[in-house]
Chains A and B, each alone.
Chain A
Amino acid sequence: MTSWLLVMPIAVPFATAVIAYLIRHSVAGRYVSLAGSVLSLVASIALLMAVLDQGVVAAQMSNWDAPFGITLVADYLGVVMVVITAITGLATAIYALGEIPERLEKLGYHALFQTLIAGVTGAFLTGDLFNLYVWFEVMLISSFGLLVLGGTREQLDAGIKYVALNLVSTLVFLSGIGLLYGVTGTLNMADLAGAVAEVEDQGLITVIAMMFMVGFGVKAGVFPLFFWLPASYHTPSFAVSAVFAGLLTKVGVYALMRMFTLVFVGDVGFTHEILIWVSAATMLVGVLGAAAQSDFRKILSFHIISQIGYMTLGLALYTPLALMGGVFYLVHHIIVKANLFLVAGVARLQAGHTDLYRIGGLYKSSPFLAALFIVPAFSLAGFPPLSGFWAKYLIVKAAIELDAWVIAFVALFVGLLTIFSMTKIWGMAFWKPHPDGIDPTPDRAPARIRVPMMIPIVGLAAMTVVIGFFPEPFVQFAEIAAMQLLDPSDYVTTVLGAQR
């Protein structure tokens, strides 16, 4: 039955998408979507329980044995990503009840959203490289739809750039798959781990590794491949940009982590060294880009980039502590970043705009929202005792242990600049009076819109606080995840030996 535990987190959102599309003209569509998100969360928690109980869980679809069939596999990293995806999905599904207008619902918003969640979950669970490509495409095509849904001129402009660069990255990734198959004759990731080591010409493998790094790098938004991200993330509705910000780039980071711990480990001195400097540049450029922006969502978009640098740094340093920090960072970041975008939506609702020069006075008129902004914002910047502090602490400690002083300094310096950006938002959106003399009280929006939008913000902020005050179980979890990444023998034997 474990095979069905692995299938359900993917199948439930797909089924929800079908139903939600067929009844998109009725109000019931949004509640179907909500119910589907709840079920997905239940399914992924069931999977989490199974993984905690048995270690790595794997299943072969259609009963074709690995490495010939498609394998679904969940180790600690995979399952925690699935659970976080379901949580983010549920949060944005609740948020959408308030934010998404009926016009977008009739165009099929909920179906696209659920397909996106299915694609992301599939990418986290698959154990087959070509299948990963397929899930990337499922994810991409639904994200294209969501990005331009509604079709304002800004969205079309952003859509062009997003689509163009993501398609290029997909094709680079696809060519990499072709070459890797040509060299090894297998596409099952667990099987590849062994097959790659047996290839005589390791230089060829390194070339292919670089193709994968570029392909996933565009998706993850690392320097210098991130330009599509700040060009597009601030244009769609807030629920959409929250789920994009939380999940899409992280799929790229996950794919990097998976491939560069499981398959491409033959030339760590070369590939991971490149990744270290790429991460440092990503952190710096992202945070400096954010400092130059004055739009709520654009600042946050650039911060996604700088935070991606920390996660890839965790992978690049390639020690148990660093990987543990990377995994912890992934989880913390998804919650925090999605929440900040959701807060931006409520701020827009009350103050009327996202341009920081044109809003203000939110602290005075809605202190509750201000408090809810402080939690994820300071967590992002790494204030103790919030979740971001532990994430940054682990990464910086790993860097110092390796005597990588420059990197450690960059990481700390970027944290400092993050505080600058967050205080900028705080000062301009919350502290200073509204430039138009409006009092942006919560009553400016009807409760039926505002309440569903506040619930997920409160929930996610609470999670941030919980992770911050009780990091012990989460850190332990991340430690086991890192161990499984560094020593994939469990993963390999479970996949190749798994029968139904």
Chain B
Amino acid sequence: MNSIIFTAGARILVALLFVFSLFMLLRGHHLPGGGFIGGLIGAVAFIVYSLARGPAEAKAALRLSPEGIGMVGLGIALAAGMVSIFFGAPLFTGQWYWVGGDSYETALFSINSVLVFDIGVYLVVLGGILSLAFAFEEET
């Protein structure tokens, strides 16, 4: 796209979208948001970038192949689900470790398998959408 306004605006927009996508990912589970939404917004960031600079540069900025990212995400999500085997619980049972308290209200933050699962979902969605978007952009 040959619009200088769009190209200049895209720089700010991409950064904002990407940060917002991470914010959405991290606030997930207890509040509206999560890996899926975050992944979509993250994908939008890269799509805006590729509209402004062309798919080749967007791919270079991504560094890894989108399919690979998706597959790694699938692996992470699966692994997060499998963690519960060590706690004797069924697959995908969330495992929580609260730091500085014992529940959502009191604790400072928590280490949990749900967030890891969400990160996996984030990567799957990001990789999946981007591989489709790049494929279509290159063909047209």
Q: Do chains A and B touch in the complex (CB under 8 A)?
A: yes
Contact A111–B93 (Cβ < 8 Å): no
Contact B90–A62 (Cβ < 8 Å): yes
Residue B19 CB within 8 A of the other chain = no
Contact B89–A500 (Cβ < 8 Å): yes
A60: which B residues are within 8 A, CB to CB? 90
Query: Which residues of A (53-83) have their CB < 8 Å from a CB of B?
Result: 59-63
Residue B62 CB within 8 A of the other chain = no
Residue A3 CB within 8 A of the other chain = yes
Docked CA distance A4–B74 (Å): 19
Interface-forming stretch among B5-13, B29-37, B40-48, B65-73?
B65-73
**Residue in B71, B89, B94 whose Cβ sees the most chain A Cβ within 10 Å:** B71
A-contact bits for B69-95, CB 8 A (1 contact / 0 none): 001101100100110010001111110
Residue A278 CB within 8 A of the other chain = no
B-contact bits for A1-42, CB 8 A (1 contact / 0 none): 001100100010011011101100000000000000000000
With contacts A4-B85, A11-B82, A15-B78 taken as known, whether A61 is within 8 angstroms of B71 at the C-beta atoms is no
B72: which A residues are within 8 A, CB to CB? 18, 22
Nearest-neighbour CB distance to chain B for A249, whole angstroms, equals 27
Our pick among A3, A7, A18 for the contact of B71 (Cβ within 8 Å) is A18
Contact B90–A3 (Cβ < 8 Å): yes
Nearest-neighbour CB distance to chain B for A194, whole angstroms, equals 24
Contact A11–B78 (Cβ < 8 Å): yes
With contacts A22-B68, A22-B71 taken as known, whether A61 is within 8 angstroms of B78 at the C-beta atoms is no
A62: which B residues are within 8 A, CB to CB? 90-94
Docked CA distance A496–B89 (Å): 18
Nearest-neighbour CB distance to chain A for B18, whole angstroms, equals 24
Contact B91–A11 (Cβ < 8 Å): yes
Query: Which residues of A (304-344) have their CB < 8 Å from a CB of B?
Result: none
A18: which B residues are within 8 A, CB to CB? 71-72, 74-75, 78
Majority DSSP secondary structure for residues of A touching B: helix
Docked CA distance A19–B72 (Å): 9
B67: which A residues are within 8 A, CB to CB? 21, 108
Contact B71–A21 (Cβ < 8 Å): yes
Docked CA distance A315–B68 (Å): 43
A14: which B residues are within 8 A, CB to CB? 74, 78
Docked CA distance A19–B75 (Å): 8
Docked CA distance A263–B107 (Å): 46
Docked CA distance A18–B68 (Å): 9
Nearest-neighbour CB distance to chain A for B64, whole angstroms, equals 11
Contact B89–A63 (Cβ < 8 Å): yes
Contact B71–A63 (Cβ < 8 Å): no
- Interface size range on B against A: 10 to 19
Docked CA distance A17–B73 (Å): 12
A-B pair count, CB < 8 Å, reads 48
With contacts A4-B85, A21-B67, A22-B68 taken as known, whether A15 is within 8 angstroms of B75 at the C-beta atoms is yes
Docked CA distance A104–B136 (Å): 22
B75: which A residues are within 8 A, CB to CB? 15, 18-19, 22
Docked CA distance A455–B89 (Å): 40
Our pick among A17, A21, A22, A63 for the contact of B93 (Cβ within 8 Å) is A63
Contact A61–B74 (Cβ < 8 Å): no
Contact A59–B78 (Cβ < 8 Å): no
B91: which A residues are within 8 A, CB to CB? 3-4, 7, 11, 59, 61-62
Nearest-neighbour CB distance to chain A for B83, whole angstroms, equals 12
B85: which A residues are within 8 A, CB to CB? 4
With contacts A3-B91, A63-B89 taken as known, whether A111 is within 8 angstroms of B82 at the C-beta atoms is no
**Nearest A-chain residue to B71, judged by Cβ:** A21
Docked CA distance A11–B68 (Å): 19
Docked CA distance A3–B85 (Å): 10
A4: which B residues are within 8 A, CB to CB? 85, 90-91
B90: which A residues are within 8 A, CB to CB? 3-4, 7, 59-63, 500
Nearest-neighbour CB distance to chain A for B81, whole angstroms, equals 8
Docked CA distance A17–B93 (Å): 23
Docked CA distance A62–B89 (Å): 8
Nearest-neighbour CB distance to chain B for A455, whole angstroms, equals 29
Contact B71–A111 (Cβ < 8 Å): yes
**Nearest A-chain residue to B70, judged by Cβ:** A21
A108: which B residues are within 8 A, CB to CB? 67
Docked CA distance A19–B71 (Å): 9
Nearest-neighbour CB distance to chain A for B73, whole angstroms, equals 9
Nearest-neighbour CB distance to chain B for A64, whole angstroms, equals 9
B-contact bits for A385-410, CB 8 A (1 contact / 0 none): 00000000000000000000000000
B81: which A residues are within 8 A, CB to CB? 11
B93: which A residues are within 8 A, CB to CB? 62-63
Docked CA distance A21–B90 (Å): 27
A500: which B residues are within 8 A, CB to CB? 89-90
A15: which B residues are within 8 A, CB to CB? 75, 78
Name 28 A/B residue pairs within 8 A (Cβ), A-sorted.
Answer: A3-B90, A4-B85, A4-B91, A11-B78, A11-B81, A11-B91, A14-B78, A15-B75, A17-B74, A18-B71, A18-B72, A18-B75, A18-B78, A19-B75, A21-B67, A21-B68, A21-B71, A22-B71, A22-B72, A22-B75, A59-B91, A60-B90, A61-B91, A62-B91, A63-B89, A63-B90, A111-B71, A500-B90
**Further 16 A-B residue pairs, CB within 8 A, beyond A11-B78, A14-B78, A21-B67:** A3-B90, A4-B90, A4-B91, A11-B81, A11-B82, A15-B75, A17-B74, A21-B68, A21-B71, A22-B68, A60-B90, A62-B93, A63-B89, A63-B90, A63-B93, A500-B89
